[in-house]
Amino acid sequence: MYAILKTGSKQYRVAVGDKIDVEKLPNEVGTQVTLSDVLMVEKDGAVMVGKPTVAGAEIVAQVISEGKGDKVTHFDYRNKHRRRKTIGHRQQFTRLEISEIKA
């Protein structure tokens, strides 16, 4: 059994026991999160596709940790204008462990 969920304008394929990194959620470490934007559920070969979400489907996950991703650097350069600029960014994330898929 697996499901496809949407959170933080990204889509993830998850099964029970999977650990995923999603964009930072306002929940604290150790709490349970219920994600209701389930786009598709597969159970025993039967596929339920939502329009846009599957009615009554939820994914229960446990918040394991929070952190920052790898640094992404961007270098901006304009020829003949003496313009050079370096920008760095580290995206914050929340690590979730999928406990249950309700369909």
* Percentage, residues of the chain above pLDDT 90: 99
Mean pLDDT score of the chain: 96
What pTM does this model have?
0.84
pLDDT tens digit sequence for 39-56? 999 999 999 999 999 999
The 3 state secondary structure assigned to the chain is CEEEEEECCEEEEEECCCEEEEECCCCCCCCEEEECCEEEEEECCEEEECCCCCCCCEEEEEEEEEEECCCEEEEEEECCCCEEEEEEECCEEEEEEEEEEEC
| CA 33 to mean position of chain CA atoms | 12
Which pLDDT does position 103 carry in this prediction?
A: 86
**In the predicted model, what is the mean pLDDT of residues 2-27?**
96
Instruction: Parse the chain into domains and list their residue ranges.
Output: 2-67+93-102
